[in-house]
Structures are given as structure tokens and as C-alpha cells.
Chain A
Amino acid sequence: MNLRAPDPRSAADPTVLLHIDWTKCDGRGLCTEILPELLARDEWGYPLSYGYGSNVPVPDRLLDAATDAVSLCPRQALTLIDR
């Protein structure tokens, strides 16, 4: 289980995390097109956010795009978690 959050936290940090279920993700990379600011692709195509693992903090201004990514992911591998 990787529920790791970035430390230390401050009040300004985003409170919503984009969770990647690696057991579902096929690495075709649709989410990285919708969220280029947040997600790069690793050499095999899987979404990669430097400094974060399975839970990527979403800044407020990217919340709409993140919500789109969640609903458009063909494998339903993405969820938003409030912390």
C-alpha cells in the first residue's frame, strides 16, 4: 500500500490526491495528455510524477482536468482522494 503523502505538509498544499491503481493502468498515457503539467510518462508509458508515487497532489487549478482524467481513463485506474 502506498498512501505516502509528501512531507512536510503545509496549509497551502493541495488536499486532493490523484491515486493511480497500477494493477489496472495499461500505460497508454491518455491521462498524461490531459494533465501534462502533472504527469509525465516513464520509458514504458506509465504516468510519472517526479517526487510522488501512487498519490499525486492536485493543485486547485488542475482539479477539473484531473476529474476529466479520472472519467476518461479507459481502465478506470484513477481516483481522486480527499485527505
Chain B
Amino acid sequence: MSRAPDTTLFPPVQAPAGTTRLTAARAADYGTHQTTFGPLPAHTDSAALLAALRDSGLEGRGGAGFPAWRKLAAVPARERARRRRVVVIGNAAEGEPLSQKDATLLLRSPHLVIDGLLTVAGALGAHSVYLYAQASVLEAVGRALAERADAAGIELREAAESFISGEASAVVNALAGREPVPQDRTVRLTESGLGGRPTLLHNVETLAHIALIARFGAAWFRSVGTKGDPGTRLVTVGSDGHPSTVLEVAGGSRIGDVLRFTGVDTGTLSAVLVGGYHGAWLPAYALEARLDRADLAGFGANPGAGILMGLGERRCPITVAAAVATYLAGETAGQCGPCVNGLPAMAAVLRRLARGDRDPGLPGEVRRLAAIVTGRGSCNHPDGTARFVLSTLTVFADDVAAHLAGHCRKDHR
């Protein structure tokens, strides 16, 4: 005989309204989490989860923006049938220095991430579940895991500290006890990942959205945001290289509005870096663009991991870009020839340009090196670095010209 759920224990909870979703709980503890969001559905089978994710339009929040339902669908059906074999990983490595949203999410709403892991693991029958997170949040997350009996199977692991530590195959290497660097791959992780087992890896924000979609459904998810970028997303906003605020915004919000909301005076910016160090610049005249794929495509940017970094109009963008390119070159995992040789070479040419070398061939040389490294690494680090550098030359063409003419008057710190 089955019993109706005890509604005195778990009164039905209203779905969060407005754009405060992932951040709706007033405190991080499990009790507050449950009263805010209600109980996690006991079990969501994989077909139901797949349908809900497809209808929701949720895209991964780790940077690449891959549709969540397609990744779930890529786990071979035979493996789903064999239960237990599948590995599920929550990725909170957050190697990008301009991003703080994953750490913030884990400090504010750890139980949504845990719910997301349990939802996906339950649907796939997975018994190996990992949460890969920065040292700074381990203690708080460990406390959250200890608060609930259903999370006993989740293994919390400390992430390596490097820009590329959060690349999916680098996470798998780290969890396998190997060097935390990317692997050369000819098959997807969903086919063969950790220990040769099918592996589903998601950014922790993606998992938190999955936890809410499992509760309140796809239509609710889409009720905020735009058609091209449904739901909400966490963004890290800052200026001049310093991330300062994490907030939850509707998908497709106007970028200028988001910046102004956090107190940035958009009138003083020359551009905004969208998507972090692997992203692209949005020039000041385009700040009313929406944070969605369609509006950003023309600038070579995408919402990515939700990073918006304003650049003050007094600062020399070539100097800033040379410093970023130098940092990225130093973060090569040192495995792939074109990346190991090409990124430092590209950064060196950009530094010459920044320091006032007026050789007119420099921009062309940067472009040539960017083309040579693109697509020629085992991970997308060269591609992302080239994208950033090329965007700099395009958006700041006037500054490049000023450097070559020898009269850049901006602040070169």
C-alpha cells in the first residue's frame, strides 16, 4: 500500500518568482534550503530528466554552452541500462581568475548543487559521484554534505589551482590521481571518462539549475530569460581586472543594465570583456547588447561562464591585453607543441606593441600566430587565447594605430 506524501512535513513550496532562483535561500543550511525550495523529487528517471532538460533549453554554465540534454543523451543507453557504472562529476574548479560565481554558489546554495548531483546520479543509476572544488570552499561544502544522509556517497575533492584545472579531461585526470592537465581525446567523456567509465561532467551552476528544473519543470525555467537564453544565470561583474560582485540575472539581460546595477559607471568604460580571458571584448557603443548568443555572436563572444569585466577608458587596452596574454601563455599545460611555443610567441609580440615598438608588422604577426595555434592543442586553451587576442586587435584598432604612430596617451600601468 502506498501512502500519500506527508504534507505537514513537506508543505508544497511555491516555485521562486522573478530572477532570484539559485540565490533564493536566505541561508546556506539544509533546513532553510528545504523550506525555500521544498523537497527534491524522490526519483527522476533518465527519460523524464532528458525531456525536461530538452524542453528547458538549459545550456551548460561552464563556458562552452553545450545543451545539457544533449550531454545526458550522449551517455550510451547500454551504459544507463548497466547502472552503477556511470560517473557523475560536479565541476567547481573555476580556474578563471575573473570568475567567482561557482565559489559564491557553493557558499550560498550548496544544497542546490548537491541536489543537482543527486538528480543526475539517480537518473543514471550512478554510484560514483564527485564534487571537484577549490580549497577555499571545501570546509563549507563539507559541512553541507554532512548535513544530509542522502549525500553520503558524494566525494569531495580539492581542485588543482591553475587556469586550465577546470577543463573537463583535466578534472578527470586529477580525480584519477594523475597530473591535472588535459588529455588528448578521440572519444567523448560520456563514452569513456574516469577509469574508462562513461562520465557526465557539469559545471556546478548547471547542476543547481537541474535541481530546480527537476522540481518546478521546464516551463517554469523558461518563464524568465529570453528564447535564446532561457532561465537565469550567475554573472561575475568587475572592472579593471578585479571581480567584485556575483549576481543572478535573467538570461538575455542587457549588459549595460547589469553593469550599472552593480554600480559600474558605464559612461567611463571603453569596452567590456565578456566571457573572461578566453572571451571577447564588447566595445562601449554595444553595451546595450543582450547577454545571449545571438547578440554577442557578432563580437565573437558568448555568455560563456558569465564574466563581465569593464575596462576604464583611461587604461591602455593593449597593455592590459598583453598582460592577460602573458598570463595565459604561462598557464599552458606544457604538453602540446603549438601551445607551448605559440602562446608565448604571441604574447611577446603583443608586449612589444604595448611597450611602444612601432614596427608596423606587429599586428599582422599577432594575427598569424593566432591562426597557427588555433585548433592545434589537445584542449581549447590555444583557441580561447587566440580569440581574446584577435578580439583585442579588432575592437581596439584605434589604440593599435596610436601605438604604431607613437602617441598612445592612455595609462600604461
Contact = CB atoms under 8 A, between A and B. Distances in A.
Interface residues of B, number: 24
Given A1-B188, A22-B336, A23-B184, A44 B341 contact: yes
A5 B68 CA distance: 22
A37 B343 CA distance: 27
A19 B186 contact: yes
A23 B183 contact: yes
Given A1-B379, A52-B375, A22 B186 contact: no
Contact of B376 (A26, A45, A46, A81): A46
B300 interface: no
B378 A23 contact: yes
Contacts of A34: none
Given A1-B188, A4-B375, A21-B184, 8 more contacts: A1-B378, A3-B186, A22-B335, A23-B182, A26-B337, A46-B338, A46-B376, A53-B374
Interface in A6-63: 19-27, 42-46, 48, 52-54
28 contacts: A1-B188, A1-B378, A1-B380, A2-B375, A2-B376, A2-B378, A2-B379, A2-B380, A2-B383, A4-B375, A20-B376, A21-B184, A22-B184, A23-B182, A23-B184, A23-B335, A23-B336, A25-B337, A26-B337, A42-B338, A43-B341, A46-B338, A46-B376, A48-B376, A52-B375, A53-B374, A53-B375, A79-B186
Given A1-B169, A2-B380, A22 B339 contact: yes
A5 to B, nearest CB: 11
Contacts of A3: 185-186
B379 A48 contact: no
B372 interface: yes
A45 B379 contact: no
A79 B187 CA distance: 13
Given A22-B335, A23-B336, A2 B377 contact: yes
For the complex of A and B, list the 6 residue pairs with the smallest distance between their C-beta atoms, beginning with the closest: A53-B375, A22-B336, A21-B184, A23-B335, A46-B337, A44-B341
Contacts of A43: 341, 372
Interface string B326-344: 0000000001111101100
Nearest to B335: A23
A45 B378 CA distance: 17
B184 A81 contact: no
Residue among B183, B184, B185 with max Cβ neighbours from chain A (10 Å)? B184
Nearest to B375: A53
A22 to B, nearest CB: 3
Given A2-B380, A4-B375, A23-B378, A44 B186 contact: no
Contacts of A21: 184, 378
A79 B185 CA distance: 11
Contacts of A54: 375-378
Nearest to A22: B336
